[in-house]
Amino acid sequence: MSQSAKTPSTSTAGGAPGPHRSADPLPEATHRTVEVPLGRIHLVEQGTGPLVLMVHGFPESWYSWRHQLPALAAAGYRAVALDVRGYGRSSKPREVSAYRMLAHVADNVAVVRALGEETAVIVGHDWGSPIAANSALLRPDVFTAVALLSVPYAPRGETRPTEAFARLGGDGEFYVSYFQEPGRAEAEIEPDVRGWLAGFYAALSGDAAPPSDPGDVTGYSVPPGGKLSDRFPEDIRLPLPWLTGADLDFYAGEFERTGLTGGLNRYRNIDRDWEDLAAWNGAPLTQPALFIGGENDAPTRWMSDAIKAFPRTLPGGLSASHLLDGCGHWVQQERPAEVNRLLTDWLHTLPAAPAGTSD
């Protein structure tokens, strides 16, 4: 991995060249908009050293990594958090197919190149986890190690994803199925973005009581004739210990400006991804890997078999698999100190760790 801090080719969303500062909650970081083959990607950068690229999930933002950017920079890394296409200041193509997994992988490779680097460690949370995993799977020459948060690695299987998700949901409709029809979830969310986000973040956090049955998906299904928000807990009020009113304002402001379609389109490509990645059916990841999940995180519970399969699916060197007690889905925000320690300790074991930090 190159440890140089070369100057990338950049442009602002309005076309003016060069990096720009923004009146955001992390003023010490640098904002850039870099060109990628299908548009632009907005990213936030802090520190110098080996490149660590952080990819967020739904419904989030580069801001989801606000605690990791300064911590990784202080540890000797060039920490970069991007707005995934469809989010924030990044491009938002109209075509649903523009959000297929292959497009996200291409974006990540283009970001590394635009930053003047040859390789990077990639870290992903929620949808960012499979984006990171597939980036490492398809481009091992670029992504030399991978850290996955909340969603464990699971290779492509034999069943079409929409068919698998259609079997879930209990007496309702599983949320992934609910998100498939363009405009349907948007009609629920966009009239009150801030209120919906507050409920969604709370419902998936460690502040919500987990179901007694780890396999229960009722809280993540839409009741007949209802909305997903009908399942949100009513006994949780903001601010949460990890989510302030200002944090929620930032997220809500982004989605009130952009809408939710870009983020939801990621769900609308799961069958397309399955077709695109047929050649990698069952393929393992061979790079050094790390997994961090929350004990009370639904995807971590549902995918416990995927975690058990890590010796087979992550044979290249799973450094560790961590489940944080009492933590929910938003691990790097709910438990920033623990996640920062786990990430930096792991990064320091990698061959491209900054001088003087390798074990």
**pLDDT tens sequence across 181-199:** 999 999 999 999 999 999 9
What beta strand segments (E) does 126-267 contain?
A: 143-149, 173-174, 221-222
Question: Is the predicted pLDDT of residue 13 greater than 70, yes or no?
Answer: no
104 token code pair: 């996200």
Residues forming a β-bridge with 44: 31, 81
Distance CA 33, CA 44 (A): 9
What beta strand segments (E) does the chain contain?
A: 30-36, 39-46, 51-55, 78-82, 120-125, 143-149, 173-174, 221-222, 289-294, 318-324
User: Residue 180: which pLDDT band, with cuts at 50, 70 and 90?
Assistant: very high
Residue type, 353: A
Identify the pLDDT of residue 145: 97
Catalytic residues: 126, 329
Identify the pLDDT of residue 135: 98
Identify the pLDDT of residue 342: 97
**pTM for the full predicted model:** 0.91
* pLDDT tens sequence across 17-66: 344 333 467 889 999 999 998 899 999 999 999 999 999 999 999 999 99
Distances, alpha carbon 251 to alpha carbons 25, 44, 246, 247, 257, in Å: 12, 15, 9, 7, 10
* pLDDT tens sequence across 261-314: 999 999 999 999 999 999 999 999 999 999 999 999 988 888 999 999 999 999
User: Residue 216: which pLDDT band, with cuts at 50, 70 and 90?
Assistant: confident
Question: Is the predicted pLDDT of residue 11 greater than 50, yes or no?
Answer: no
Question: Is the predicted pLDDT of residue 16 greater than 80, yes or no?
Answer: no
Q: At what angle do helices 101-114 and 128-138 cross, to 10 degrees?
A: 70
Residue with tokens 């069943």, as numbered in its chain: 159
Residue with tokens 């399942």, as numbered in its chain: 231
